[in-house]
Structure 1
Amino acid sequence: MKKMMTIISTLVLATIATMGTLQAAPDWSKAPAKKMTLLYPGTASLEWTLKGVDHSGAKAMKGGETCAGCHDKEAADVGKKIVSGGKPDLEKTAIKVPGSIPITVQATHDGANLYLRLQWKDTKSTGAPKMDEKNQVKVAMMIDAGKVDYADVGGCWASCHHDLRTMPDVDKNAPNHAKAKALDIRKNGPTKYLKESRTSITNKEHPWGGWDKLKSGAEIDKELKEGEFLDIVQYRSGAAPRDGYVLDARRMKEVEGVAEGKLEGDTWTVSFTRKLASAEIGDHKIEPGKTYHIGFAIHDAYSNERHHHVSLGHSLALDNAKADINAVKQ
C-alpha cells in the first residue's frame, strides 16, 4: 500500500510539473487592437502595381511609399470598384464577392511565442460558386524580416505575380517545365514566388512576371539561409494548418498547433502561434528591437487562389508602440 501511494504521489507531481510547462492562453483583453481593411485586389500583381500607366502610385512605390500609406483609408472603396467591374484591367466583369473585409488584429507574446489573432464578421453566402468546397475559410499571414523587395511597401504583394496560376499571364505549358515538380507546379500553373529567386521579372511586354527565369539552386539556398524569404503560416477551416515559406515557390507542409480558428455566431476568430526563436527552415526569428513587415490574406466563402482579400502591408514588432501591430508581452 505504501509503495502504491508513493507511485501515485510521483505521478501526481510529474503531472503538475508537466502542466506548469504548458503555454497559458493569451489574455486578449490586454493586447492592443489594430483595425484594418482587407480589399479584393482582382489581378493587381506586383508587376501591375509597378507600371505607371496602369497604377498611378507606381512611382511612389518605387520611392518607398507604402500601399497602406496611400490607400489605407480608401481600401474599401478600391475593393468595391474592382468587384463592381469598375476596373476592367483588374476584374473584367462584376463578381459576387464583397469588395472588402474589415478585420481586427491583435498580437502578444510571452517571451517564447508570438500570438496573433484576427477577427471579422462572417461573409454570408454571395451566390458565387464554391471554389474550395473543403474549406469555408483560409487565412494566411506572411512575415518579412526586411530582406524582401517591396515587402516593406506592400506586404505579401511581393509574392504576387502576373504569371501565377489563375492570373492573366499564366503559362499553360508550365506543368511541362523541367523543374515543374520541384516548384510544385500542377496543372493550373506556378505558385507564389519572389523576384529574389529569379534572374529577372518584367512588366514591359506580356507575359509579365518571370516564373521560368529561375536562379541556380545554390543561389536560392544561399538566399534562404540569409533570410530572403517570406515566412508563411496558413489556417484552413476544413484541414490541418500549414507552415512554410515563399521564395522560389510557395513551400508549405501541414503542422499541427500553429493555427486554429472557429466561427461563433457571426464572427470568425483565427489565431496563430509562432515560436519567437524557431530554428525551422523558413521561419524568421522574431526578436526585440526589430521591426518586421507582415501581410494577411483571407479566402472567405469557399474562395480559392487569387480570389481572396488582402491587407496592404503593415509593420510588426515586439513591445514597440510605433509598429502598426504591437505585440505586447504578457
Structure 2
Amino acid sequence: MKKIAWAFMGVFAAGGVFAGEPDWSKVTERKIKLFYPGQSGLEWILNKADHSAVPDIVNKKRACSKCHEGDANEVGDKIIKGNPVGNSKTQLEPKPIADRAGWVPASFKMAHDGQNLYVRVEWEQPKGGSFGMDKKNEVKLAMMFDGGISDGGTPAIDLAERAGCWVTCHNDLRSMKEAKDDKKTKYIKGAALDGGKFMDLIQWRSGKGEKPVDGFIADKRVMEGGKGLVKAEGKKDGNKWVVTFTRALAGGGTGDHKIEPGKIYDFGFALHDGGAEARYHYVSLNYQFGLDKAVEGVKYYYNVVKQ
C-alpha cells in the first residue's frame, strides 16, 4: 500500500452545518497553472511602459486570464530565473532562484449543497529546496474571493474581475521593490468593510497543530475574524498535494462575504511552498465562479453545481 503523509487541521463555525464532502468524481475538474509572479505588483501591471496589455485591461476591460492563461508557465519560468519581461524588460525577481520551478501544474473542483461551498485543489510538489522563512509551515494554500456581482451590477473592487488577487498586491509591500515597511502586508486601495470592498481570505496550513486562517484583506490583511470556514484539510500522497475547504455560504463573521445564487465571484489561489512567506509564492490568474449559473464564452469562469 502506498504510504500517505497526512497533514490536516479543521475548524467548525458556530452554527455551521457540515454534511460531508461531495462525490468529487462527479465534479468537473478545472486545470490551472500556478506561477511565480516575483515583484509584479498592481502598479507594474497597470503601467503601460512596463506592461503592453494595459490598454486591453483598462480600456477593453479584458481579464488577465484571457491573455496569459496559455503562457503563465512561460512567464513564471522567466521571472524566477531573473530574465527580463514586459515592455520595459524588467527583472521582476532581483535575486533569481535557480533551483526552483517557475510554475506548478494544478487543478481545482468546486461544488455546493445549498449550505456550504466545497473547494478541492490539487497540485504537484514543485522542485526546489526550502526557503526556510516559515519554520512552522512547509506549505500554505490560500483562496481569496470578492463579494460577487449581480447581472448589471458594479463591482465593489475596481479591477477585481480583470486582475483578481493583484488588487491586493502593491509595489510598497514587504519584500517588494518599493518596500519601506517590512511589516506591510497586502491591502486594497479605498477598502471598506461596510461597503463590501474587501477580499475574503481562507488559508490551509500544513504545520502540526496550525489552525486554518479565516480572515480578510481590506486596508490591511487580517488573519482572523471570519466564521465562514467550516473545515480545511490537506494531505500529501506521493508527489501530489490535495487541499479541501468547506466554507459556509452564509459566512457570518467579520470579513466574510455571503455566497449566494445569481452572483459572479472573482477568486484566485496562492501557494506558499517550501516554507515561503510574503511574495515568494505561486499564484493563479483571476478566475470567477457562480452557483448553478452557466456563463457561456468565459473560459476563466467556473459553474459551481449543487450536489
Contact 1:139 1:298 in 2 (8 A): yes
Q: What is the one-letter code of the residue matched to 1:227? A: G
Residue number in structure 1 paired with 2:138: 136
Matched, 1:242 2:244: no
* 8 A contact 1:162–1:169 mirrored in 2: yes
Q: CA RMSD in A?
A: 1.7
Distance (whole Å) between structure 2 residues aligned to residue 276 and residue 161 of structure 1: 30
Q: Which residue is 1:312 aligned to?
A: 285
> Percent identity among equivalent residues?
44
Does 1:167 pair with 2:176? yes
1:250-329 aligned within 5 A: 250-253=221-224, 257-322=230-295, 324-329=301-306
- Does the aligned pair in 1 maintain the 2:216–2:224 contact within 8 Å? no
Q: Pick one of 39, 47, 52 that aligns with 1:56.
A: 52
Contact kept, 8 Å, 1:170 with 1:189, in 2: the verdict is: no
**How many angstroms apart in 2 are the aligned matches of 1:171 and 1:304?**
17
Using structure 2 for the length normalisation, give the TM-score: 0.83
Q: TM-score, normalised by structure 1?
A: 0.78
| Structure richer in helix, relative to its length | 1
The structure whose Rg is larger is 1
Which among 23, 27, 32 is matched to residue 19 of structure 2?
23
Partner of 1:90: 92
- Asked if 1:117 is matched to 2:86, the reply is no
Of residues 132-141 and 107-116 in structure 1, the stretch that sits farther from structure 2 once superposed is 132-141
Greater mean deviation of Cα atoms: 156-165 or 248-257: 248-257
Q: Distance in 2 between matches of 1:231 and 1:129?
A: 27
Q: Gaps spanning 5+ residues in structure 1: where?
A: 1-20, 173-187, 198-222
Deviates more, 1:57-66 or 1:287-296: 57-66
Q: Secondary structure at the match of 1:235?
A: strand
Q: Are 2:135 and 1:158 aligned? A: no
Unaligned runs of 5+ in 2: 1-16, 85-89, 148-154
Q: Does the 8 Å CA contact 1:97/1:128 hold for their aligned counterparts? A: no
- Could you list the per-position Cα deviations for residues 145-166 of structure 1 after superposition, in whole angstroms to 9, with x for gaps in the alignment? 2311111112111000011111
Q: 1:161 to 1:237 in 2, by over 3 A?
A: same
* 1:310 partner letter: V
By how many angstroms is 1:97 displaced?
2.0
SS of structure 1 residue aligned to 2:79: helix
The secondary structure found in structure 2 opposite 1:80 is: helix
Report the count of equivalent residues.
Answer: 269
Letter in 1 for 2:283: V
More strand by share: 2
Structure 1: distance between partners of 2:218 and 2:291:
25
